[in-house]
Amino acid sequence: MSVMAPNDAHATLRVALGEYDTGWHQPQGSVNRAEVVIKRAASTGARLVVLPEMCATGFTMEPEAWAEQLDGPSFARLSELAQKHDVWLIAGLAMRDTAGFHNIAVVFDDHGELQATYAKQRLFTYSGEHEHYVAGTAPLVVNIDGVRVSPFICYDVRFPELFRAAAPWADLLVVIANWPAPRRAHWDALLPARAIENLAYVAGVNRTGAGDGIAYDGGSAGYDPWGEPAAQRVAVASPSVVDVSAERVATIRAKYPFLEDMRQPVPAYGAGTPSFGDGHTSAARSAVGF
């Protein structure tokens, strides 16, 4: 399998790790807190702000009460915030449609337009997530300022085949999560592993605080394509940022063409070919696999 060249070999992207306490079943309060994070992130020069999984509600197993349609109030408010602060935004939300409920990552551009949605491919059976939500069927890649970005959600990170399916087309792999404190060591190990094996940047954004009796201690982090820590704090009280370079990805992959040695780039039990977000409604819907 040949590795697709970057859309812009010299593109760079500052990504803000928007970690915060999303609370529990308090959408308005959580999105209000998210605005503070987004505003501070924008002040650092970030072009992409990433918020945690199900940022409006916490990791709820009550989608009947809390999941929203694509034109719901949390979607609308996040869209407004992306436009207001002139940033791209990736955020996790519980979504409903005629096919059921979905744990998704929404991608808004800096005009507040919904560019694409990604549905979590591996549902967390340990908590019964599979009993309430419909799993996604394919990865997603979105071009943001010339950098190719592929979002994933929490439990996905335990399944390297999902990341392999997107890696040849991606410079940055984003993982949004509600990752509990007791399993924090796994989070700390899995994020750099996904960076190393795919020769890509990885940005992981977790929540803090407590939800439904579960403690979360953050640990948001970024890694470069060599697996080295890449997050830095450039301003007091602002989120950490990761400066992504498409050129660095291309250079490392050219020197160490490990991805070229994949014999079966999409395992039979893994994901399908990525959907590519291009700003059209059809692409935004197809990316969640329903």
| Main-chain phi, psi angles of 152, to 5 degrees | -135, 170
Q: CA 161 to CA 165: how far, in whole Å? A: 6
- For the chain, the average pLDDT equals 91
Question: Which pLDDT does position 7 carry in this prediction?
Answer: 55
**Is pLDDT above 60 for 272?**
no
- pLDDT tens-digit readout, 170-206: 999 999 999 999 999 999 999 999 999 999 999 999 9
Which residues are the active-site residues?
Answer: 53, 120, 154
10 CB burial (10 A radius; 0-12, 13-18, 19+): exposed
CA distances 141 to 42, 150, 172, 237, 279, Å, are: 23, 5, 9, 31, 12
Any idea what DSSP says for residue 197? H
What domains are there in the chain, each with its CATH number? Answer: 12-286 (3.60.110.10)
